[in-house]
Structure 1
């Protein structure tokens, strides 16, 4: 008799990140349900080059800036996490600062003692946390934000909502606050919000970091797993270990 493998939903942009996430889950012995809750709309912009520090917050932002020919010569380049730092290095950029804690708050804490009076450029999506801008301004920096891309909900998203309603999800992995919000928005539009959230709460829910956890819990979703680092493979492994228990 063939043992049924647990089904785990994953919410990533419908590009190589979703493909990689599905492959990771398959390698860990579960049936992945890829539900692309995000799509990227490039803004055709680049980070300003007249700042003392420039902050990149995602692999997507790095790739878009590089494609536009961005040159950060003479600027201190900061990456909010390892995946962003890796993307910068792969694109040929030097990385000067990566905070120990891969969050907006972690980067604010890392820079707070040295940016009073400095010009900082924050280049990211249109859904970036206010924590970064507010924290750097409070530290005395002159902060400018450039929107490199917009994050929208793609057509066809939401297969996981129906699976949650029917009780056919064993796990769900949210990789940003926006993926949580889009899941709940779809459920609300379909008139099944309470049932979808109940289905999630009967499953193992993992979020990639504390901000995503806070968003989920504020919307009534119980979070079981948050990895030590904001890394998808860590999230997947931690959730499946919890599921096995």
Structure 2
């Protein structure tokens, strides 16, 4: 039996190599397609009562800049973000049960009235969190820690999907879904690429990328309960093998 061919989309900052190695160890043939490159802005969040970080990339950017949360209540979306923050030597105070912007708003809603909240995220972050926290009475600032750019050569997975040669795909953010679609559009194969994905096993690490995929006509087969890449990869590979 041949190994299932599974595309993985992670930023081109070392995580794409780790993801490919994991897929290989699970018995899949990895197709690493780094849909995003990270461009730090050299900005850091202002002093605030609460600081919200949404990715391990953001943690790494701030740690490299020598930033620390000080006396702020440090809030992290997702276990991987919290683990990165703790590895940086910071104390994590809040991790919402639901690993997305709506989950963070629900976690903080009752505590931020009249407080300052600093959001430190990428340039592609949604408006859900700032709007929700402002509705809860918070004074919200937004800092763009890094910009996400799509590499010009990010198209192998779209080509394979269009030819029906992918068995699985693992999307880790809404931006990676958008990057895949943009790559396919640029090649003039978007319709065929989406059709190819719909013959494969498509996994999304959380509801946000899953919803972006569904809106584009992509059927999402796997959304793990825990927003963890290894959990996602295992689920996609196991289903693709069946």
Q: Alignment partner of 1:95: what SS? A: coil
Task: Report the equivalent of 1:25.
Answer: 23
**Shift in Å, 1:100:** 1.4
Per-residue CA deviations over 1:22-67 (Å, capped at 9, x if unaligned) read 1111111110000000000000111112x10001111111111111
Q: What is the aligned counterpart of 2:68 among 71, 76, 84?
A: 71
Paired residues, what number?
A: 242
Equivalents in 2 of 1:72, 1:171: separation in Å? 39
**Shift in Å, 1:71:** 2.7
Alignment of 1:148-227 (within 5 A): 148-227=145-224
Q: Alignment partner of 1:77: what SS? A: strand
Task: Report the equivalent of 2:139.
Answer: 142
Equivalents in 2 of 1:204, 1:165: separation in Å? 14
Unaligned 5+ segments in structure 2 are none
**1:40 is the counterpart of 2:38:** yes
Q: Alignment partner of 1:121: what SS? A: strand
Task: Report the equivalent of 2:100.
Answer: 103
Q: Is the 8 A contact 1:47 1:65 kept in 2?
A: no
Equivalents in 2 of 1:71, 1:8: separation in Å? 38
Q: Is the 8 A contact 2:4 2:237 kept in 1?
A: no
Q: Is the 8 A contact 2:46 2:118 kept in 1?
A: yes
- TM-score (normalised: structure 1): 0.96
Q: Alignment partner of 1:44: what SS? A: coil
Equivalents in 2 of 1:126, 1:156: separation in Å? 21
Task: Report the equivalent of 2:124.
Answer: 127
Task: Report the equivalent of 2:2.
Answer: 4
Q: Is the 8 A contact 1:116 1:139 kept in 2?
A: yes
Task: Report the equivalent of 1:237.
Answer: 234
Q: How big is the alpha-carbon RMSD for the aligned residues of Structure 1 and Structure 2?
A: 1.0
**1:57 is the counterpart of 2:57:** no
Q: What is the aligned counterpart of 1:14 among 12, 15, 19?
A: 12
Equivalents in 1 of 2:78, 2:172: separation in Å? 14
Equivalents in 2 of 1:225, 1:143: separation in Å? 34
Equivalents in 1 of 2:230, 2:21: separation in Å? 10
Unaligned 5+ segments in structure 1 are none
**Shift in Å, 1:81:** 1.2
